Amino acid sequence: MPFSSNEFKNFCKNWSIEGVTSSPLYPRANGLAEKAVDIAKRILKKSIESNTDLESLLLEFRTTTVPSLGISPAEALMNRVLRTKIPIRDSNLTSRVQTSLHNRLKQNQDS
């Protein structure tokens, strides 16, 4: 089992680190990882069933906006909108993250 050795326990104690573990037999304790695995399995299954290119399905997933974030996973990671075969307006290709950061920096400089 990882991180269960005496050496690691001593390291945590010396550096005042509180190690919190979750049970591998209790999947809800690691919900985000379980959800990511579920999404990957569904994408693979869809690729096989529809005889669609896996890369195009992954690109579709990465460029789909996450409602709670308001941006896509690719945009959050790379700070830009990836081009796809789906028609899109040029105004949507500008980076929202960078623009908002630029506006904040400009406001800070002006004040």
Instruction: Enumerate the β-bridge partners of residue 71.
Output: 66
What residue type is 71 in one-letter code? I
The number of angstroms, rounded, from the C-alpha of 90 to the middle of its chain's C-alpha atoms is 25
Per DSSP, the three-state class of 72 is coil
Q: Where are the domains of the chain?
A: 28-63, 66-103
What residue type is 3 in one-letter code? F
Degrees, nearest 5: CA angle 31-68-35: 20
pTM of the predicted model over 0.75: no
Tens place of pLDDT per residue across the chain (111 aa): 467 788 888 888 899 988 776 666 766 667 777 888 899 999 999 999 999 889 988 988 888 888 877 888 888 888 887 877 766 667 666 666 666 656 766 777 787
Question: Quick one: 86 exposed, middle or buried, by C-beta within 10 A (0-12, 13-18, 19+)?
Answer: exposed
